[in-house]
Amino acid sequence: MVKDNVLAPTPAKILKSENMTEIEKHIELEILDKEIAKNFVYKPGQFVEVGVMGVGEAPISICAARKKEDLLELCVRKVGRVTNAIHRLNVGDILWIRGPYGNGFPMEKMEGSDLLLVAGGLGIAPLRGVLQYALSNREKYGTITIMYGIRCYTAMLWRDEFLHLFYEGDKINVEFYLSYEDSSDRQCYELQCERSDRCMQGVVTRLFGLKEVEPENTYAVICGPPIMYKFVIQELMKRNFDPKKIYMTLERRMKCGVGKCGHCIIGSGKNIKYVCKDGPVFTYWDALNTKGMI
Amino acid sequence: MAESEKPKIGIFSLTGCGGDQLMILNMEPVLLELLSRFDIKDFQEGSSYKEEGELDIALVEGSVSTKTDLERLKEIRERSKMLIAIGDCAISGCVQAMRNGQMSMAERMKKVYGVDEDYYDVLEPKGLSSYVKVDLEIPGCPIEKDEILHAITSLLHGDMPEGIDYPVCVECKLNGYPCVLVEKGMPCLGPLITAGCNARCPGLGLDCIGCRGPIPEEANVAAEVKVLLEKGYDEKYIFNRLRFFGGNFEDVQNLTKKFSEKTEKEEEE
Amino acid sequence: MYKVLANENLPAFFESLKKIGKVYGPVKVRESSYDFREVESLSEVDLTYTRTMIPPKKFFVKPKETIFDFDEEKLEFKEPPDEEVKVILGVHHCDINALKILDSIYMDETPDKYYIQRRNSSFIIGVSCTPDEYCFCKSVGTSYAQDGFDLFLHEISRGYLVRIGSEKGYELINDNKDLFEDAKPEDTEEFKQNEKERLEAFKLELNVSGIQDMLGLSYEDPVWKETADDCFGCGTCNLVCPTCRCYDVVDYVGLSLKSGERVRRWDSCMLRKHGLVAGGLNFRPTRVERLRNRFNCKGSFTDGSLSCVGCGRCTVYCPAGISFVEVMKKVRGEL
């Protein structure tokens, strides 16, 4: 094991691998080198480079708050070579990881405020970390509102967890809103019939019709497919949100994770950013100042 | 590994020189180890043994240039889980497609063989993907040993091999080969052509003739024409050169058409 | 500290370099190309060269290299061995300044181990140059290397005026005292005169004042489409650029399927896959976005310095004949 080499990954054993949908797996990893595990301190919104030897590495966001020092939770969607290879592996197999990388969400800065988490599809993964962190420090945050947009019921990630919040969240001051795109989805329709104040058919921005968002004391945290940001931000700006209080996390091809390989560079001459080290979490203010960010 | 667990593979030829199968046979240092990983059901240049039935992988070289080719291809596709086109012929028709979009097959028969009859049931030479679903294409005329080895190893490992979609220029620079286009004004097609040959020709001071084919949906053919015209090459020479391996490429066809329309007009005038 | 190395001592100086490590210098390759290659004797080196196609970055971030071999069964991987000491003789001002930019990236808070090892085991000797019609380092402020070298040789009639840039450089001079003498007033005069003439010899100029805002304001400018029509997207401009440092990583697995290597290779933001993410979304789908990105990146600051050092390589070696300065002038509205 080479410790001074940022490109050298460390082995992590798959403890749990659960199919959440046809294409998404929830994977729990144990970092084998305990010395490395001790220093593997991460916060919500950070990511790791996950590798399969002989195939390559892919940046995957961490989807849970840190509970135990050698434990890491990831949600892996099968979309490319590496993620396909990850999906082939079983409990007990080894993944090679590097990280954690990126800035993560400024959880301390958001203390004392309400949180509005807006997620589309797989975008819920990094926000789950934010949610878990906020729930384990419940007194530090106000109302937590979650707006989660899915395609259909079967594409919903961590379904049990989130349905529990959907029904019971209010007891811990968590308001969970759900939107679904597939108008023929029966299960979602039933949820909508049960709680028409919390569930709607359509894109995630429709949920703003169900919830009065208070811009004064709220931090918005967004993650979803690239197309989603523009529309969610439109809604927030309509409500006079401070651009510096809108956080979003971006996807790019972060091959090295440490600001060297250049694949995640965005912006113009005025303001060049590396998504991997300057982000992946940026504010809308950053986006206004950085061309091509969203 | 028990014989029954090995992936079943077939290696087939349609219209072409058979050079791609030969390249596989040329992989001497690893050939036995490589072949021992597979249950080989058909490999014409390697063995006279043949077996029908389902295949995990079919490697097919050669273009579809006759109706017989097409029937064989459909048959192979039907029996194979994965179909891989190996070599330019199987991807774009290669040199057989030189006059595609420019001259009908009847005209070609007349010009080459001096006959009006179609003795061979010919089709305009095309790659496999014009007719069937192709899972992977490995370019080359012939294919490169390293590339096919990496591709097959990746497949054994369970991964789809990653194709190269950058031009020969990249390999010239990685190797530090002086640019024959810029420095010597040679009619190098390198900026258009799919790399993977490790810039073999420019490395020897020769200009790339484009044997690995233009990068699909990426090569800027118009820019190449412009550059070569500026360097003093005449249009006919440029288009013949582009057509040698790129006859089936849409941009090459369109630009040739524009060029020949222009020439016709000039001749009329 | 300044010394003079007389012409007659040059061969002995070269021999002294060989004691430090393998010596690399600009060598003429084919008709008009130069390349930094390993040299055995001074006669192989042409210190009056204009520019090499491939900049000295190749010694530190290699065009293609194995970053480690892995063995999955043993949960092991092996790094390549450390590199031996290299003397790189004849590096121009612009290239030395470019290395400083690479340093700020590769030796930041998450440093690249390979880069550091190679940088620390290199001995850099700069040499003065005369600009040709493609050089514009004067315009971007990199026409003079203040530091970033061990020794710098400025040509004067009786040899070279030598600037000492590091302790290593000082040691070499100290170990070979006989070869060096103190600079005389006429040497200094000549050095000053030469510098004056050199700076006057620049033919190409690019105004970079406010270029960052101009690039930002020209995001939708037709210049990108116009340039993209001529551009091959071949990546040459990036690969020959002394400050471009993008790399790609590819794994190769051996036939055993248990061992293999991870390889990195220079990449280019002009290539199709550069902005592609898994699932097929490409953030820079056409040459228009890619060109714009490249020019914006070059026009931005890295650690306080402009990311272009004005060496002219991207223009000289562009197969499509696209001129960097011309495009930037269009961005500025000067053309």
Written as tens digits, the pLDDT of chain A (294 aa) is 446 899 999 999 999 999 999 999 999 999 999 999 999 999 999 999 999 999 999 999 999 998 888 999 999 999 999 999 999 999 999 999 999 999 999 999 999 999 999 999 999 999 999 999 999 999 999 999 999 999 999 999 999 999 999 999 999 999 999 999 999 999 999 999 999 999 999 999 999 999 999 899 999 999 999 999 999 999 999 999 999 999 999 989 899 999 999 999 999 888 899 999 999 999 999 999 998 888
Q: Which of C29, C64, C232 to mutate to test the interface with B (most CBs of B within 10 A)?
A: C232
Instruction: Look at residue A255 and tell me if it is in a domain.
Output: no
Is the CB of C260 less than 8 angstroms away from the CB of A57? no
- Chain B residue closest in CA terms to A82: B159
Cα–Cα distance measured from residue A294 to residue A287, given in angstroms and rounded to the nearest whole number: 7
Cα–Cα distance measured from residue A96 to residue A5, given in angstroms and rounded to the nearest whole number: 14
Is the CB of C300 less than 8 angstroms away from the CB of A255? no
Cα–Cα distance measured from residue C220 to residue A107, given in angstroms and rounded to the nearest whole number: 37
Name the residue type at position A211: K
Q: Which residue range is the domain that position A49 belongs to?
A: 10-101
Same domain, C36 and C168: yes
Q: The CATH number of the domain where B119 resides is what?
A: 3.40.50.700
Q: SS3 of C83, please?
A: coil
Q: Kindly provide the ipTM of the predicted complex, given to two decimals.
A: 0.95
Pairing status of strand A56-61 against strand B136-138: unpaired
- Residue B216 per-residue DSSP state: T
Closest listed residue to residue C169, CA positions, set C23, C1, C330: C1
Same domain, A87 and A28: yes
Cα–Cα distance measured from residue A20 to residue A23, given in angstroms and rounded to the nearest whole number: 8
Cα–Cα distance measured from residue C5 to residue C180, given in angstroms and rounded to the nearest whole number: 5
Ramachandran region, residue A51 (left: φ > 0; alpha: ψ -120 to 50; beta: rest): beta
What tens digit of pLDDT does each residue of C229-251 get? Answer: 999 999 999 999 999 999 999 99
Q: Does C319 touch chain B (CB under 8 A)?
A: yes
Cα–Cα distance measured from residue A95 to residue A74, given in angstroms and rounded to the nearest whole number: 12
Q: Which residue range is the domain that position C7 belongs to?
A: 2-61+76-200
Residues C319, C321, C327: CA angle, nearest 5 degrees:
130
Has residue C32 got a pLDDT over 90?
Answer: no
Same domain, C41 and C147: yes
CA distance to partner chain A, nearest, from residue B151 (Å): 12
For residues A182 and A188, is the Cβ–Cβ distance under 8 A? yes
The domain boundary, picked from B121, B136, B157, lies at: B157
Cα distances (Å, whole numbers) of residue C151 to B24, B93, C1, C83, C193: 53, 58, 10, 21, 21
Q: SS3 of A16, please?
A: strand
Could you give the number of structural domains in chain C?
A: 2
Specify the length of chain B in residues. Answer: 269
Same domain, B147 and B22: yes
Same domain, B37 and B139: yes
Q: What is the pLDDT along chain B (269 residues), one digit of tens a residue?
A: 666 789 999 999 999 999 999 999 999 999 999 999 999 999 999 999 999 999 999 999 999 999 999 999 999 999 999 999 999 999 999 999 999 998 999 999 899 889 888 878 899 999 999 999 999 999 999 999 999 999 999 999 999 998 899 999 999 999 999 999 999 999 999 999 999 999 999 999 999 999 999 999 999 999 999 999 999 999 999 999 999 999 999 999 999 888 888 888 887 87
- Residue C56 per-residue DSSP state: G
Q: Does A81 touch chain B (CB under 8 A)?
A: yes
Closest listed residue to residue A59, CA positions, set A69, A50, A68: A50
Same domain, C136 and C215: no
Q: Which pLDDT score, from 0 to 100, does residue A1 have?
A: 40
- Chain A residue closest in CA terms to C283: A252
Same domain, B23 and B98: yes
Residues C261-286, mean pLDDT to the nearest whole number: 94
What tens digit of pLDDT does each residue of C93-112 get? Answer: 999 999 999 999 999 999 99
Which chain B residues are closer than 8 Å to A87 by Cβ? none
End-to-end CA distance of chain C: 45
Could you give the number of structural domains in chain B?
A: 2
Could you give the number of structural domains in chain A?
A: 2
Q: SS3 of C99, please?
A: helix
